[in-house]
Structure 1
Amino acid sequence: MANSALEIVGLCLTLVGLIMSAATTGMPMWRVTAFIGENIIVFETRYEGLWMNCFRQANIRMQCKVYDSLLALSPDLQAARGLMCCSLALGGIGLLIAIVGMQCTACIHNNSRAKRMVLIIAGSMIIGSCICVIIPVSWTGHVIIRDFYNPLLIDAQRRELGEALYIGWVTSAFLFSGGCIFACCNISEDKGQDRYMYSRNSHYSAYPPQPQLLVQPQTFIQPQPLVQAQPLQRQSSIYSYDSRYPSIRSAVAYL
């Protein structure tokens, strides 16, 4: 029962993380214009995302333009595109596989071992989705901080961390929690089934040793020599045992 509740919690965390990952991928607020130094034009804000650039004027109107060429983008932006798409794919497939292996579903009947293996695979895929989210988000944040303190850049070229980066870090936390729950929620149950538990308060009594039975050596009996049977001598008689009348040979001998 406890494992079923943990699986539902892991499903909710993974679903929320998947939605936030899709929002992070589509949001253009990865890099935001920094208003520092002599830059006093504050009514216009520039956003740079994975797919487009956007300008907002006086918090009223926003205009966006898709990037013209993929090859013209920076290496970190190209890698971020691919990793975020991989994160969405792994998270979606892992979520579907986790639904198949949950105890509250009847997709796999009477095979708890198969269900556990399915959940472990789903948890591994969700953790992989978490890694695919945190790498581009952290890489982009590192590049923004490095360029911000670069003395060779002017103030207009410096950028700040956008809202999409913070959402991405929270997304990775949700996906990591959901993947760990799916991968580890049934390990304790497996160990409990394979291990035999004994009560400490039970009375232990040693099995008393049985006395060994002494076997008396058997005396050797010398075999007696075989006595050959003597052939029976046929005695002549007057009368035959098979008939009440004397036979002819007996009558002749009698005469």
Structure 2
Amino acid sequence: MAFLTTRLMQRASLFLSFGGLVTSFITFFLPLWKTLNSDLNEMENWYEGLWHICIFTEEVGLHCKAFESFLALPVDKLVSRVLMFVSIGTGSLGVLAAFFGLDGVKPFTGQKRAKRGLLIMGGVLSWVSGLTTLAPVSLVAYVTVVEFWDENIPDVVPRWEFGEAMFSGWISGLLLVVGGSFLFVAVCMGDHKAEKEARTSLPEEIPRTLHYLKTEVL
């Protein structure tokens, strides 16, 4: 696997982390976390996200309304908003740290220890961002499943189901975690390469020779 160089691994990890960050940002504002189709009126489709609730009809199209009160939000939506803010913030910092830690980027050129520290920081922040993306999506999914199978709710009442944004949220969280893991792999590859170069640059040990004094016995 000679093609899998340290520089290639660094750029692949940065690409995955950046892709996960962009997908997480889009998921945060999409009103497609949950969907509801009423059997009484099949022409209406309801969608709900962390910021809006929308209704789609063939006559009017898509009409969305933002949640009016922040304090009146359910606990799962309130916690999900906070975690998604943390995810986007840490993910952005992680991508920036990883970018400046890449080999070939001008800032910190020649400072291997600084670049190594930036890559490790980028990996940790990407991990935090990925976990704080997976947590709110999984929380909303758990609440949706519990409410869907709640026997106290009459069967005639429509139930919310998973929307497309939840799946994109899971994908973005996994991309961030994998990208952060690849950054750690790139750091290990760089350490191995530096150790190997240090070994080859050492001068060869001069073999010891025994010198004998030739004496004559008179």
Distance 1:189 1:59 in 2: 60
Aligned to 1:225: none
Aligned to 1:163: 164
Higher share of residues assigned helix? 2
Aligned to 1:23: 26
Question: Alignment length, in residue pairs?
Answer: 201
- On the 8 A contact 2:37/2:44 being kept in 1, the answer is no
Q: How does 1:44-193 map to 2 (within 5 A)?
A: 44-58=44-58, 61-154=61-154, 155-193=156-194
Q: How does 1:185-204 map to 2 (within 5 A)?
A: 185-194=186-195
Distance 1:7 1:60 in 2: 48
Q: Which whole-Å deviations, capped at 9, do the CAs of 1:67-119 have from their partners, x for residues lacking one?
A: 11011111010000011111111111111111111002011121212111110
Secondary structure (helix, strand or coil) at the match of 1:64 reads strand
Q: Which whole-Å deviations, capped at 9, do the CAs of 1:199-253 have from their partners, x for residues lacking one?
A: xxxxxxx989999xxxxxxxxxxxxxxxxxxxxxxxxxxxxxxxxxxxxxxxxxx
- Stretches of structure 2 lacking an aligned partner (at least 5 in a row): 201-206, 213-218
Aligned counterpart for 2:5 among listed residues 2, 7, 14? 2
Distance 2:71 2:120 in 1: 38
Q: Which whole-Å deviations, capped at 9, do the CAs of 1:115-151 have from their partners, x for residues lacking one?
A: 1111000110011000110000001101111111111
Indicate the RMSD between aligned Cα atoms, in angstroms: 2.3
Compare relative contact order (CA 8 Å, sep 6+) and give the higher one, 1 or 2.
2
Distance 1:174 1:59 in 2: 39
In 2 relative to 1, CA 194–72 (structure 1 residues): closer, same or farther, beyond 3 Å? same
* Aligned residues with identical type, % of pairs: 27
Q: How does 1:216-231 map to 2 (within 5 A)?
A: none
Structure whose CA Rg is larger: 1
1:18 offset after TM fit, Å?
1.1
Secondary structure (helix, strand or coil) at the match of 1:28 reads coil
Distance 1:120 1:32 in 2: 39
Secondary structure (helix, strand or coil) at the match of 1:185 reads helix
- Stretches of structure 1 lacking an aligned partner (at least 5 in a row): 199-205, 212-255
* Deviating more after overlay: 150-159 vs 47-56: 150-159
1:59 offset after TM fit, Å?
8.2
- The answer to whether 1:40 aligns with 2:20 is no
Letter in 2 for 1:179: G
Distance 2:122 2:97 in 1: 6
